[in-house]
Structures are given as structure tokens and as C-alpha cells.
Structure 1
Amino acid sequence: MESYRGVPAWAAALVGLVTGAVAIGVSWLVAGVVKASAFPVLTVGNAVVDLSPSWLKEWAIGTFGEADKAVLLSGVSVVLAAFAVGIGILAFRDLRYGHAGLVVLGVIGLAASLTRPEAGLPDVFPVLAGVGAGMVALSRLVRRSVAAGSGAPRPRPGADSETADTPAASRSEDEAALHPASGQDGVIVTAPPIMRAGDDLHSFDRRGLLTGLLGGVVAAGAAGAVGRLLSGGAEVDQARVGLALPSPATAAKPVPAGSDLKIRGLSPFFTPNADFYRVDTAIIVPKVEPGSWTLKIHGMVDRPIELTFADLMRRPMVEADVTLCCVSNEVGGPYIGNARWLGARLADILREAGVHKDADMLLSTSADGWTCGTPADVVMDGRDALLAIAMNGEALPVDHGFPARQVVPGLYGYVSATKWVTEIKVTRFDRDEAYWTPRGWSAEGPIKTQSRIDLPKSGATVPAGRTTVAGVAWAQHKGIDAVEVRIDRGPWRQARLAEAPTADTWRQWVIDDWEATAGEHTIEVRATDATGYTQTSEQAPVAPDGATGWHAIRVNVA
């Protein structure tokens, strides 16, 4: 057994951390060469998401919002760091223990990688390379941390060497290490710590440790930086910025002048791309180059189709204003936004493929393996269901699906809005399941009629007198016909509605003559859609098919 037990705990911890950094950096480098999505930290994070129960995911979204993925990655990093510290400490007890710890991490990484839907042989290489690099780094750092030596006590400066050595000379080397020797005048002379490696004696080498750690940090940083470059992020960003969008063959209807009330604090009619909500399972956003992107349409079709991005760009383009909403949106929540999309009609492509009459589901798959089940009849019923390439006049942001994504009006995103879409399998609901269905969510998710108060903000203090109450309401592909507001459970009042170019967008509303009096007040809102349905007051959670209830806020009037 090769043991170095006299190294300080802080030194062993640093050795473990740098070993972990080298392993991660090298695995990132290899992932950049063979397959960017095979980066082990990413695959482990994705596995954590997949294995987490629905209630935990909803708690994370509700608690951390769009920062949930950053929180998850931070948690994974903390766990990895703690594991690395443990590996460092074990390695100084026996190097084989440290190597075994790295093997355990490798097994976890392989399990996470090979259980992904898109897993293949390339997913193995980053894990194996990281474990191998970690073993080499750990061995070298451990050995650089110690220096061979007799362990004999060193005389203090100026003391007579013969006298100083005398007390230790009559004791064994181990005793001299464990007990301080007394020199002239009773001065204590401390021996350096002694460690055993086999039958040899070693002492802690601080300089060797620090130079080894520095070299490890440089190697880890360089490998990680090259891996990031090889992962294609820069090329994808450049391709996106340089993309020339085709002109629409069918332009969106002009937005009526009264569609945006332009009230400060009220959600604008079009949500800026930078402010558009993002809820998905991607721990690290897929970076897909347009030149390598393809869409495969297969399954219950007469003629399977495979489109390149160039093929897609040559198709007739349609502009459509569509509001998207996440099923995780609580009553009054922020996970909704409206944009002008540009893309090819998905129904036209499916007709070319020849969808079988008994097919009722489109199982789409994103570049990171996430799946979505969309009702086929909804896509084919004439609405503006698009394979979109642009959002608000620019190429899709990478966070929102570049180079191509699905946009289907009237359905929650978990059954319609596949980003980074690469495959559509035409199938049936009784044969296939998408990602969320076995986790307790409904197979079909039509958006529920809802409304939200944007101002005043909940909990705000407002001055007495005339006060504006405003917000948005939505019932995609049905349209909003009326919005009502009441104060302190009094009578319902009709709000003034902004114009809406289509039934597929949200609609602003306002009451600008509320005479607010001093005290605390409760404001509630409800909407009625074009079918005559008025949203229910019954409170229901987001699972399994979207929240219900009236949005209510409390304000203080001073």
C-alpha cells in the first residue's frame, strides 16, 4: 500500500479539486471533438432532471424560475467538488483509493450518458478520457506533494549540530518525527512531518505541491477552453447572426394601431426576444449548426422526408403572430409571451409526406433528446402551425430553438413547441409517449382561458385617487371577447380591450378610472373567450394540464 498520511488536509483537498478540474477539462475537450452533448457534466445534469419527480421540477421552476438550470448546475458542481475533495484525501491514504473514487465517478457518468435517448458509442469517450486524465493527474500531484528524505530533525540556526542531534540520535527515526528534540538551552527543534510510501520515508513538499497544482489548473483551463471552442458555439452564433431571412410568401396581418395600449408597466403586445420566457429541460442549450441540421419526418407516412436547413429556407414562408404559454405557468405567472414568427407551414410538409388516416400524434424530438407529443389534427386544421426559423424579425435566438422549432397556436408548449427540432415521428397516442406524459401530465394540452393583472403590482403601495388597473388575457385560437375586474368583491366592471389582430395572440385590457381610497384592497380579474366561456374561479394547480382560477392581487393605498 502506497500511503502518504502526513500531508495536511488542505493540501489533499486542493489535490482532489485540481484532479477533478483536469478530468472535467479533458472530458470537455474530447466531447468537443466527438459529440458536444456527451460532456459528462451535461449528461449527469440531464439525468438528474429526468429522474426528478414532477413535484420537484415544479418546485424548482416556481422557486428559481428561469434560473433553475443554473441552480441545478451549481448543485451538480458542488457535489462534484465535494466528491473530488474526498478523492484527494483518500489518495493520500492509498493512491488506489483515489483511483477507485475516479472510477466511481466514471461509472456514474457512463450510466448518465448511455441512458440518454440519443446515446451512442461517442458518448463513452469523454467519460473514459476524463477518468484516465484524472488518474494521471492525481498520481502526479500526490507524488509531487512529497519529497524523499530521512525525516531527521533539522538543527536550529546557530545551534551546535552535534549537540542538537544528540537527543534524537538515541531514538528511532519514527520517534524523532513524533517527538520534538531539545537542543541547547532547552530550545525545541521540530522535525518535518514524516510519511511512509511503502518502506520509504517522505516529507511534505509544499513547493512541489504548488507547482503541480498550478500546472494542473493550466492544463484543465486550456483543455476546457479548447473543448468549448470545438463544441461549435462560436460557429453557431456566427451562422445565426449572418443568416439572411427570406421574405414571407404570406405576411402577417397588420397589427392594429390599438393593439398596444403603451401603458408603462403593462406587458407590450410583442415580447422582446431577450424578455421571452424560457422553460425547457436543456441544462446546456444545444448549439446546432444550420449546415448540419436536418429534420427527419417518418413513421406513419407514405413518403418519409428528410429536410436540410437549405431545403427549409427555400419553402414558402409564413408570418404569424402567436402567443406561447407554458403549462407550468401559475395563475398570474410570467411564463407567457407573444412574438411574430416566420416559418414554413408544418401541415404542408406533412401532406407531402402523406400522413396515414389513423395517425393522431406527432412525436417530435429535439437535438438534446427531449420529446413532445402534438395532436396531429390540431396541426392539420388550418391554423398557423409553423416550423419556425425566425422570431420578431431576427433568426431564432439559440435559447429559443435555433435553427428551427415548432410553433403551434392554442397548445401549451410541452405538447407543441419543440425547440431545436430534428425529428418528427408520425404515430399514435396509444403507441408512443412523449417526455412529460409518463410523468403524470396530460397527453393533450389545450391552453386554458386566462387573464393576468400587470399593474399595479401585487403588494405595491399606490397613491389615493384615480388609478390604472391593466393586464393581459389570452385564449389562443379562440380569442378574448371580454375582461372584467372587481375590487374588494364588489360588482364586476367591464375593462376596455385593446385591439387584437388574430385570435392566436393575447389581448391587453385596462380600467383607468378606479378611484382608489386609503387602505388595503383586493383586485381580481376574469376573462371570457370568443366561445362564451368565462374562466372559472376554481383554483387548480398547473399539473396535469394547466392552472385555473382568477388572478387576484392586494395593494395598499396611501
Structure 2
Amino acid sequence: MSTPSIPRNTHVGWIRAALAGLLSVCIGLAIGQLVASLRNKATSPVLAVGEAVIDRTPTPLKDWAIQHFGSNDKLVLLSSVTLGVLILAIVAGLLARRMLLLGAALLVVMLVVAGYAVLSRPYGSVGQLLPTVAAGVVGVIALVVLMALAGDATAAGLLQKVRALLPNASKNDGEGVRASRRSFIIGSTTTAVLAAIGAYSAQRINDAKSALGIKLPAARTPAPAIPVGLDTKVPGITPLRTPNGSFYRVDTELSTPTLDADSWELHIDGDVENPYKISYSDLIDMGLEEQNITITCVSNPVGGPYAGGATWRGVSTAKLLAKAKVRNPERPDLQVLSTSFDGFTISTPLGALTDNRGALLAVGMNGEPLPRAHGFPARLVTPGLYGMCGCTKWITRMTVTTFADKKAYWTQRGWGTAVKIKPTARIDVPGSLATVPAGKVTAGGIAWAQGEGVVKVQISLDNGPWTDAMMGPDVNVDYWRQWAYVIPNVKSGQHTLQARVIYGDNQQQSTTSAPVFPDGSSGIEQRVFLVS
């Protein structure tokens, strides 16, 4: 008995058409993500488009996103890209309702855009297009099948012709496709389940790849132990050492890279007499040292959270560059252009990586292997410079050149070069607009002045006189320092608290207010709180 064919003039409802477009793209993206997870997850169509959007986003908009969304800026961007794709998917379904070719054409256009995004990345090659092609092929096939099940005559006819061409097809195989409300529900549900399985499998594969399974040897030159801080006495202030899971992350990667230590290499070249490359195991065998260093992001606003103190373990960059034998190292215009695995670049003055400040090519953080989110297998950590000038994550190359010859990623976008971290004091407690009881009010926070050292922190209540706060332990000149002060007899009402750092040779923190662009924020933090 033959399967009844679909009438040629069957009209597909717009809800079914929209759902067909949406589900076809969902399963396409899931399969693309799954294929990418087996190869290189950065080649996932959505991630590739997201990375391309990041590269083309104006600097002021990036700053706005970081300031408003913080470390969730990537999630917001990725969600926005995904939402845009899903809206186009619905449009494709509605177009297919009028003409199947138009809906399929929109899916192909989306495929071409994603493919261009993949090819525009530094790792881009024809071979890296496989996830995008897989997503496109599966998406188009799913659209045709779902539209046929929804009652579209053109889609049904196309499937009938394909079925008739299959080997060992019976004479009835090309006669028709069953279309009904029940068939569409079953087909849609099946597509959704397969999409969910594909996405879940891709995530599980990526999670498995994220497991490090590496144990670092002890440092030959260990850092002094971090002392007990004021955070044990003053609730709410920042811990003296930032746990790895709480350490801020600001970079251009939409997903955490999963580089393999066994295949990773660092190339050191450029204006050197002895260019060479070194493997992860050879790097470890050079002998590790530790430094307690606080690093800060240039995007950190006054009072912002993008700073962290940690114990870093790695190899001295001075030792690595000495082996390369830099030509004319005294030249002031020399830089090291460090390159990440995906082509992202950072400019660091050669002197900052070869002087006695203790810059590291770090492989460990707080006694553990460097987390993937913070640069595994290796990253630069340069005391005294903002992250955009000396903290390249997932580093694969260090090229000695001049600032004039090569411009780094952020330099091309108008940010400064060789920008020193500006000294500042941050207020952690009381919280902004927090309500506290009248009487004694405990204030506290953290301050940094990398390269100079924090001498003391002073506070002022309601523009009153500046008063010295109690200081926490002094780790070193490149590490931040906690402070606290109990303000007596605070009466009910609204109050304003200010804090400033005194650093180095009794220098005062700048009072000049400046935004983060182009060389870091400055100014005195003011915290408004309420007393009941």
C-alpha cells in the first residue's frame, strides 16, 4: 500500500514554518558545534562570528560592555549573536513558507557569513570550514524535511525525488511523504532532541579536553608565603591572595581555549641572533621560579574589580630572551611583540621583560598549573604594566622588533603602549548605597602601586580631613595591600567616603579624573552609603 502524497497546493501555517526554520538552524548549529569540538572548538560557526564581531566592535562600545557587564561581556555578546541567528532562522522558515528556495537561500547566506568569519581568523583555512559546512548541510536538510512534514508540496516533492534515487528503492518509495499534524510534531520533537544531544555531547567533549592532568614541579626559587590578611578580621574586603576561580578575566576569547601542552611550542624570534623554539616540557625543565604579583586590566574603572593578586610560577622572561641574544638590546624603541595562539598580539617594552622586576612566562598560578581560562599552557606576567601591555595569555610567540615596525591589537585601536598601572585605592566596604547601623562604621578595601609600593591609605568622610587607615601586611612593591578603618560616631543619613593611596616616596594618588581609554583610569573613588 503506497503512502498518500501531499496535495500540491497545501498551505503551511506560519507557526509551523517559523518552527521549522528555528529547529533546522538549531540542529545545524549543534552539529557544527559537535564537529568543532572534535577538531578545534574555535571554528564553531557561532564562536567564529562572535570573534569577528569582537574584532570589528568600536573601542568605546567594548569599554561600555566591560563596564556594564564585567566578565559576563562575552556571554552577552555570544547570546546576542545566537539570538540574531535564531531570529534569522525564523525568517528563513517564513520565507520557505512562500518559496522553499528562498528559505534555503537565507540559510546558505548565513553559512557563507560564518565561513567568511572562520577564514578571517588567524587559524583560518579551508580545512577549518568543516564545522560550518556540516552545520549548513544539516540545517538545509532539516528545513526541507520539516517543511515537507508540515505540508509544503515543494519540499515533499524534493524528498520524493531523492528517495526514488536511493539504491534498492521500491516502486512506491517516490510516491509521497506522509504529512500531518502528528508527523510534524514527531519530526519537530526528534529534531529538537537530536539538537540537544549534539550540543550536550559537544560540551562534554570540550569539558573532557579542559581537564589538565598536569602536576608542576616545585619552584627552585619559591616566593615568600602570602601572610594572613585583614580579610580574616574585616568581613567583605578583598582576600590578600585571589583564588584562581575568582580571578578577573578580560580578553577577546568567547570560549576558553583548550591548547594541548604536548603540542604547544613557544617561538622566540625577530631581531635576535639565536631564534629558537621551546616545548612545554623543555620550558619546565629550565627551572621554575615564583613571584607574588598583582596585575590589573587597563579597562578597570576607578573602584573597579579588574585587579587580582596571585603567586605566579614560571620561567624568567629575561632568561628566555638572553638565550635568544637580542641584537642591540639597549635600544629604547625595542619591544617584544607577543602573539597568542589565535594571532592576538600585545606590545611589551623589551626592558620590562629583561630588567630586575621579575617578569615571568608563567605556567602556574597559586600553586596549581595555569588554568585554561588564564592562559594555559603559558602566559606572560609583567609587573607594573597593565594586562594589555604585558600579560599575553595562550602565548605561542615572542618577537623582538620595534614599536614602529609592528603594532599590537590594542595599539591599532588607539590604546597606549607601555602603559604603567596607575596607583589607586579601592573601597570594598561599606558597599555602594549600603545601609549600616549608626555608630561605628568599618571601612576597608585594597590599594596598589605596582613598582612603587603602597605606603599607606587615607580616608575622608564627607569631605572631612584625611585620616590614616590601618594597613595590612606588605608583601612587596608589586603586590597590593589591604587597609581598614573604624569610623567612630557616624550619625544617621547619607554619607560619602573617599580613599586615596600614598605610595613610593610619599607620593599621593592622582586626583585627576580620567576614563579607562586610552591609558587607564584615575581619580579618587567616592563611595556613598546610608546610615540608619
Give the TM-score normalised by the residue count of structure 2. 0.89
Q: Identify the range of structure 1 (123-132 vs 435-444) with the bigger mean alpha-carbon deviation.
A: 123-132
1:122 to 118, 123, 127: 127
Q: One-letter code of the match for 2:72?
A: A
2:272 to 281, 301, 311: 301
Work out the CA distance in 2 between the residues paired with 1:419 and 1:293.
Answer: 13
Q: Contact (CA 8 Å) 2:230, 2:483: kept in 1 or not? A: no
Question: Paired residue for 1:93?
Answer: 98
Change in 2 beyond 3 A, CA 1:557/1:147:
closer
1:388-442 alpha-carbon deviations (Å, 9 max, x no partner): 1111111222211122111111111111111111222221110111111121211
Q: One-letter code of the match for 1:8?
A: G
Question: 1:80: Cα distance to partner?
Answer: 0.8
Question: 1:265: Cα distance to partner?
Answer: 1.0
Question: 1:89: Cα distance to partner?
Answer: 1.4
Question: 1:216: Cα distance to partner?
Answer: 2.3
Question: 1:205: Cα distance to partner?
Answer: 2.0
Q: One-letter code of the match for 1:321?
A: N
Q: Contact (CA 8 Å) 1:3, 1:92: kept in 2 or not? A: no
Question: Paired residue for 1:485?
Answer: 459
Question: Paired residue for 2:509?
Answer: 535
How do 1:225-236 and structure 2 match up within 5 A?
A: 225-228=200-203, 232-236=206-210
1:281-322 alpha-carbon deviations (Å, 9 max, x no partner): 111111112122221222222222222111122121111111
Question: Paired residue for 1:272?
Answer: 243
Unaligned segments of structure 2, at least 5 residues: 1-6, 154-174
Work out the CA distance in 2 between the residues paired with 1:34 and 1:320.
Answer: 36
2:302 maps to 1:322: no
Question: Paired residue for 2:137?
Answer: 132
Q: One-letter code of the match for 2:223?
A: A
Change in 2 beyond 3 A, CA 1:36/1:46:
same
How do 1:426-437 and structure 2 match up within 5 A?
A: 426-437=400-411
Work out the CA distance in 2 between the residues paired with 1:313 and 1:140.
Answer: 55
How do 1:174-253 and structure 2 match up within 5 A?
A: 205-228=180-203, 232-237=206-211, 240=212, 242-253=213-224
Work out the CA distance in 2 between the residues paired with 1:254 and 1:201.
Answer: 76
Q: Identify the range of structure 1 (469-478 vs 513-522) with the bigger mean alpha-carbon deviation.
A: 513-522
Change in 2 beyond 3 A, CA 1:270/1:262:
farther
Question: Paired residue for 1:157?
Answer: none
Question: Paired residue for 2:302?
Answer: 331
Work out the CA distance in 2 between the residues paired with 1:516 and 1:360.
Answer: 54
Work out the CA distance in 2 between the residues paired with 1:374 and 1:459.
Answer: 40
Q: Contact (CA 8 Å) 1:27, 1:130: kept in 2 or not? A: yes
2:308 maps to 1:348: no
SS of corresponding position for 2:262: helix
Q: One-letter code of the match for 1:205?
A: S
Work out the CA distance in 2 between the residues paired with 1:466 and 1:16.
Answer: 62
Work out the CA distance in 1 between the residues paired with 2:200 and 2:125.
Answer: 25
Work out the CA distance in 2 between the residues paired with 1:95 and 1:248.
Answer: 64
Work out the CA distance in 2 between the residues paired with 1:26 and 1:480.
Answer: 53
Unaligned segments of structure 1, at least 5 residues: 149-199
Work out the CA distance in 2 between the residues paired with 1:525 and 1:236.
Answer: 41
Work out the CA distance in 2 between the residues paired with 1:445 and 1:145.
Answer: 61
How do 1:134-533 and structure 2 match up within 5 A?
A: 134-146=139-151, 205-228=180-203, 232-237=206-211, 240=212, 242-256=213-227, 262-357=233-328, 358=331, 360-533=334-507
Work out the CA distance in 2 between the residues paired with 1:332 and 1:147.
Answer: 59
Give the TM-score normalised by the residue count of structure 1. 0.85
SS of corresponding position for 1:290: coil
Work out the CA distance in 1 between the residues paired with 2:233 and 2:340.
Answer: 37
Q: Contact (CA 8 Å) 1:5, 1:92: kept in 2 or not? A: no
Change in 2 beyond 3 A, CA 1:35/1:275:
closer
1:348-380 alpha-carbon deviations (Å, 9 max, x no partner): 111101122246211112223322111111111
Q: Contact (CA 8 Å) 1:233, 1:287: kept in 2 or not? A: no
Question: Paired residue for 2:36?
Answer: 31
Change in 2 beyond 3 A, CA 1:30/1:4:
farther
Change in 2 beyond 3 A, CA 1:336/1:244:
same
Work out the CA distance in 1 between the residues paired with 2:388 and 2:115.
Answer: 28
Change in 2 beyond 3 A, CA 1:293/1:259:
farther
Q: One-letter code of the match for 1:109?
A: A
Q: Contact (CA 8 Å) 1:289, 1:403: kept in 2 or not? A: yes
2:66 maps to 1:61: yes
1:551 to 484, 503, 525: 525
Change in 2 beyond 3 A, CA 1:556/1:224:
closer
Change in 2 beyond 3 A, CA 1:484/1:97:
same
Question: 1:538: Cα distance to partner?
Answer: 1.5
Q: One-letter code of the match for 2:121?
A: R
Question: Paired residue for 1:77?
Answer: 82
Question: 1:29: Cα distance to partner?
Answer: 2.9
Change in 2 beyond 3 A, CA 1:228/1:453:
closer
CA RMSD between the two structures: 2.2
Q: One-letter code of the match for 1:370?
A: F
Question: Paired residue for 2:167?
Answer: none
Work out the CA distance in 1 between the residues paired with 2:232 and 2:353.
Answer: 32
Identical columns (%): 40
Question: Paired residue for 2:163?
Answer: none
Q: Contact (CA 8 Å) 1:363, 1:373: kept in 2 or not? A: yes
Work out the CA distance in 2 between the residues paired with 1:203 and 1:122.
Answer: 39
Question: Paired residue for 2:107?
Answer: 102
Q: One-letter code of the match for 2:47?
A: L
Q: Contact (CA 8 Å) 1:303, 1:354: kept in 2 or not? A: yes
Change in 2 beyond 3 A, CA 1:207/1:387:
same
Q: Identify the range of structure 1 (27-36 vs 424-433) with the bigger mean alpha-carbon deviation.
A: 27-36
Q: Contact (CA 8 Å) 1:5, 1:93: kept in 2 or not? A: no
Question: 1:517: Cα distance to partner?
Answer: 2.1
SS of corresponding position for 2:80: helix
SS of corresponding position for 1:71: helix
Query: Quick check: which has more Rg, 1 or 2?
Result: 1
Question: Paired residue for 1:159?
Answer: none
1:40-78 alpha-carbon deviations (Å, 9 max, x no partner): 110101111111111111111111111111111111111
The alignment of Structure 1 onto Structure 2 pairs a total of residues equal to 502
Work out the CA distance in 2 between the residues paired with 1:540 and 1:147.
Answer: 61
Work out the CA distance in 2 between the residues paired with 1:528 and 1:222.
Answer: 57
Work out the CA distance in 1 between the residues paired with 2:94 and 2:233.
Answer: 61
SS of corresponding position for 2:507: coil
Change in 2 beyond 3 A, CA 1:10/1:258:
closer
Q: Identify the range of structure 1 (354-363 vs 340-349) with the bigger mean alpha-carbon deviation.
A: 354-363
Q: Contact (CA 8 Å) 1:464, 1:515: kept in 2 or not? A: yes
Question: 1:491: Cα distance to partner?
Answer: 1.3
Work out the CA distance in 2 between the residues paired with 1:532 and 1:3.
Answer: 87
Change in 2 beyond 3 A, CA 1:9/1:525:
same
Question: Paired residue for 1:43?
Answer: 48
